[in-house]
Structure 1
């Protein structure tokens, strides 16, 4: 029964990825990769985690919310980026190069990582940490929108805007509707095969949760040499949101000690740091990509041990 559900839901998630990719490609033509990938795709692909974090926080399950908020950062900034870099090299026989100005996302990724470190030292999530976390993402959005307004770009046709909007809305709807059941079925299947819960939390659930975003990235890279660059903007934008807005939501609804979630936060800081340094030169090579795959499993292993 579970396998049957997975076989039904997986193609729907692939369709969701295709719709979001098509919408993003149309938006990129007149909005650029920073707005289309970092802000709009970032918001859409983070919707399932956002909804899940809100529900878990309201129900008084802060540690489930905490894991959902930042668990994907570890997977996407190591395994996800690594897989994308390898696929881009195989598809285009060259390194993945970030095609547009990445400096905004790079600076805010550094800022969100430093703020997460400060929150970890502070030791809890509450109203006092939520305000600066929300403020940072709000400023990122404002800064990116202001930069877009100042850019000299051609006016888009109304028909293209409508098409892009329809693609994104339909893709987001399917993503919201089917991503959580998919993750739940993966968790249930893993339990059936007696996979340890820590590996479920650190590897299988994040892989399932970020599956649509990874499929979208592969789809973008397949159709265009610039597609991998747009996917990187999506990765970074969505994970800046996860490490700021979603953690702030947890703190607004609960006063949460970070001691039980220490390993996850440290793992997130490590993954963010790798993303900061590897993407700094806007060039993702094959050797770096392979290394990131190993880093993902090393981080999971050491988190299990310690």
Structure 2
């Protein structure tokens, strides 16, 4: 599908591509607006904290690009791409996206929810690091086996059910009047799906359009691969997070990223491993940079989220963004 989109766009003139880029940016922002508004509406309707809605329903939607890319990569015999996409997305989500969201506006955190969801976020990262160790496979490289993939999917189902149930019971935030009190539930759900679809489809068209345009104006392929392509699958989370913060729903952004991190382990890696008999091979290079960086950023975010001011400050956001860019640089200088 991605190759079809790329080849189709590649036949168009640069002027038309610029128009497609502008239109994609417009639909991307509109989709994010719809997604955030409906997620907040469902939060009020169900009496579930916005952070919980972000960590489940919104995260499932915005994580679909990572799932698609990784599963197809695994089926096509590129397990390192599948694993790298998932780990790279965790690093980008927690470092770049949460960091930028904190720099753009207030990023509040609910201590009770952070204690519960944040612990699951770190546990998911540690679980991934542990099962990736060569200790669990025969040979110098680690392997996430097919049966482990099925276990991850089982844990995913339990996570979603338990989180929504826990969110209702915890009553972490006071109920507010529904955004669309008279709107039928089915209409809100349709609008939510529409918002998610607009964000994902717009991202799928925007990234190759920018990539082709960049190639035509002389930007090196290596630079494009290290920035636009790697950044592409995390674009839905970024736009959703920035939109949520600007609308005053920063907790939805935090919940979305926490949920996305958990889903990148249980959903993305779980599905990718489950569809391949040989599982996912873990390259030895991942133990030097990718996995350690993932753990450092996850623990840093958890530390910041437990501060006394109930929010991620701008200096803390700057630290997370800085960590992300150091990671990008080390990918090229650390061989």
Structure 2 length as normaliser, TM-score?
A: 0.79
* 1:159 counterpart SS class: coil
254, 259, 268: which one aligns with 1:246: 268
Please tell me whether the aligned partners of residues 79 and 293 of structure 1 are also in contact (alpha carbons under 8 angstroms). yes
**CA distance in 2: counterparts of 1:267 and 1:211, whole angstroms:** 20
The offset of 1:196, in angstroms, is 5.5
Instruction: Tell me, in whole angstroms, the C-alpha distance in 2 between the residues paired with 1:180 and 1:67.
Output: 19
- Is 1:27 the counterpart of 2:53 in the alignment? no
Q: Give the superposition deviation at 1:147.
A: 1.2
Residue equivalent to 2:67: 50
Q: Which residue of 2 aligns with 1:272?
A: 298
Cα deviation per residue 1:64-115 (whole Å; 9 max; x = unaligned)?
Answer: 32233232211121111111111115xxxxxx32146222211111210110
In structure 2, distance between residues paired with 1:252 and 1:290: 37
Q: Distance in 2 between matches of 1:137 and 1:158?
A: 33
Matched residue, 1:195: 220
Deviation at residue 299 of structure 1 after TM alignment: 1.2
> Where in structure 2 are the equivalents of 1:12-23 lying within 5 Å?
12-23=27-38
**Structure 1 residues 261, 4: CA separation in 2 closer, same or farther (over 3 Å shift)?**
farther
Tell me if the contact between 2:131 and 2:144 (Cα under 8 Å) persists in the aligned partners.
yes
Deviation sequence 1:3-43 (CA, Å, 0-9, x none): 34322322111111111111111112132224311101111
Structure 2 residue runs without a partner (length 5+): 1-13, 135-141
Which residue of the partner structure matches residue 137 of structure 2? Answer: none
Residue 9 (str. 1) matches residue 35 (str. 2): no
Change (3 A) 1:268 1:182: farther
Q: State the SS of the aligned residue for 1:257.
A: strand
Q: Counterpart of 1:170 in 2: which secondary structure? A: helix
- Say how many residue pairs are matched: 297
Larger radius of gyration: 2
2:325 maps to 1:297: yes
Please identify which structure carries the higher helix content.
Answer: 1
Secondary structure, counterpart of 1:102 in structure 2: helix
Local SS of the residue matching 2:189:
helix
Q: Tell me what 2:166 maps to.
A: 147
Instruction: Give deviations 1:144-174, integer Å, cap 9, x for gaps.
Output: 1221343568797572523431321111222
Secondary structure of residue in 1 paired with 2:131: helix
Residues 54-133 of structure 1: pairs in structure 2 closer than 5 A: 54-89=71-106, 96-99=107-110, 101-122=113-134, 123-133=142-152
Deviation at 1:187, TM superposition (A): 3.6
Partner of 2:3 in structure 1?
Answer: none
What residue in structure 2 maps to residue 92 of structure 1?
Answer: none
**Structure 1 stretch 270-279 or stretch 236-245: which is displaced more?**
270-279
| C-alpha displacement of 1:202 | 4.6
Q: Which residue in the other structure is 2:314 paired with?
A: 286
Which digits, 9 at most, give the CA deviation of each residue in 1:159-193, with x for residues without a partner?
Answer: 25234313211112223333223233344345453
Aligned mates of 2:243, 2:41 — CA distance in 1: 14
Q: Is the 8 A contact 1:48 1:179 kept in 2?
A: no
Shift of 1:194: 3.9
